Each structure stands twice: as structure tokens, then as C-alpha cells.
Amino acid sequence: MFLAQNCFSTHVSHFYAFRYKHQKRGVRVKYAEHEGYRFCYFSRGEPGTRPSVLMLHGFLFNKDMWLNTIKLFPQDLHVVCLDMPGHGRTTRLLGESYAAADQAKKIHQFAKCVGLSRKPFHLVGISTGGMVAGVYAALYPSDVCALSLLCPAGEFLNPVLSGGPQEGLKGCLLCMSELTSYSCSLLSVLLLHGKGFLDLSSEKSRYSLHETMSKIRAPTQIIWGKHDKVNVYLINLGLYLNIILNLQQPGLAVDRPLV
């Protein structure tokens, strides 16, 4: 009973906190329907001469994780942050596959539905969202003019799965032994996303980026944090990488045309 009450109060406080952040960041929460499937997203700005930016979050999170990031973006840049399939307020179907390629197909439907794919856009993804973004760029190269992958599928699908998907899912629960507002919100989501975890961590899905990456045509930026586990997975990708070590207090560089 205490756990249920604590989680309920946590969800209420998070709702109002994010609602305030939405207003502060100037974003608008919207919905798009495609054949009975509902996508939830927020956007800021309007399409212009510069490419729009579509941002994909990681497993167990939602579009709101980008709120602190987009405050650094130019106000006139068109930014779209989507609740990934089965996450946030986007439709969750028990019989749906959440493998990377299947999620990419759903996101392609979203991009067409809201008119985002009328011209190439900049696609950004983090963690499992990075894996899905990479697969998307491979499957739909004409949609993507630039690709940014932030620790794509790294932390979640490598050490967590060393004992198999079931052990990995159990490990996520064990790491929440101390109940906090953050772990409480993740706990309720994790209980709903067991199938999504197993689909994403399946061998077919886990190596989908590796198997399709030769089809990526967009200029691609890959970023790993200092303490992320950058290992032979990078070499197996077959990429030539320029590695910048010990980058301290990185800023945000924005290309601006000369007037």
C-alpha cells in the first residue's frame, strides 16, 4: 500500500513538473493518428530552411527526457520529440513487436503522418533510441540528412545482457532497491515494458544496426561518454571514427549561415 501511494504521489508531482517545463521550453504536446495507432509528441518551432530535428529517447524513458537538451537549441529550430512506440502516451499494444526494425517502421509512419518526411531531417537517438535511429536511417535513407547516435544501445544491451535477457530485466529491478522518486517512476514503466525489453534485446534486434549500417547514407555523428563502455563493438561496426578523448565541458555548436 505504501509503495502504491508513494508511486501515485510521485507520478502526480512529475506530471506538474513536466507540465511546467513544457510551458517554460515553449513546446506543444500533440497527438497524431495512423490507422488507429496514436503517437504522442511535442514540438517547438516550425519547419523552415534548416532541417527539422527528430529526437528518439531510450528504453524506459519518454519524450520529456529531452526538455533540458532543447533549451540549448536555437528558438527558431524546428524540433520534434516523440514518445517511442509503447512508451509515454504513444499507443502500447501487447501483441506488438518492439524490435528495432519494427520500431523504425512505426516511426516512419509517424514521420509521414505529421509531414516530417517531406524533406530530409536530422535524426537523433540515444541508447536504444540510437539503435532504432540508426536502423531507421538505413531503412529510409532518403528521409535522413544527418544522423546523431548518442551511446547507441550501449549501456543497456551489453553488460546488462551478460546473463541473458531475463537476468538483465531482473537486474534492472534489483538496482532499484532504494526507492527514490526516479526509481519509482521507472519501476511502474518497467513492469509494463518487459516484452519491449525482450524484443529489443533479442539477437535479431540487437544486431540489426550492425547488419543494416552499410545502407546508411547520411553523415553520422557517434558520441559516447567518458565512462561508457566503448569496446570492440565499435570495431565491429566497421566505422572509421575520429575519437576525441577527455573532452571537458563540451558546448553546443550551431551552424549559422553568413548574412
Per-residue pLDDT, averaged over 68-97, amounts to 90
The percentage of residues in the chain with a pLDDT greater than 90, rounded to a whole number, is 42
Per-residue pLDDT, averaged over 92-98, amounts to 82
Instruction: Tell me the whole-structure pTM to 2 decimals.
Output: 0.73
Where residue 200 falls among pLDDT bands split at 50, 70, 90?
A: low
The domains found in the chain, sorted by start residue, are 2-236 (3.40.50.1820)
28-72 per-position pLDDT tens digit: 899 999 999 999 999 999 999 999 999 999 887 899 999 999 999
135-176 per-position pLDDT tens digit: 999 999 999 999 999 988 744 444 444 455 555 555 555 544
Residue 200 or 74, more confident: 74
Please report the pLDDT score of residue 104 as a whole number. Answer: 96
| Helix (H), strand (E), coil (C) string for the chain | CHHHHHHHHHHHHHHHHHHHHHHHHCCEEEEEEECCEEEEEEEECCCCCCCCEEEECCCCCCHHHHHHHHCCCCCCCCEEEECCCCCCCCCCCCCCCCCHHHHHHHHHHHHHHCCHHHCCEEEEEECHHHHHHHHHHHHCHHHEEEEEEECCCHHHHCCCCCCCHHHHHHHHHHCCCCCCHHHHHHHHHHHHCHHHHHHHHCHHHHCHHHHHHHHCCCCEEEECCCCCCCCHHHHHCCCCCCCCCCCCCCCCCCCCCCC
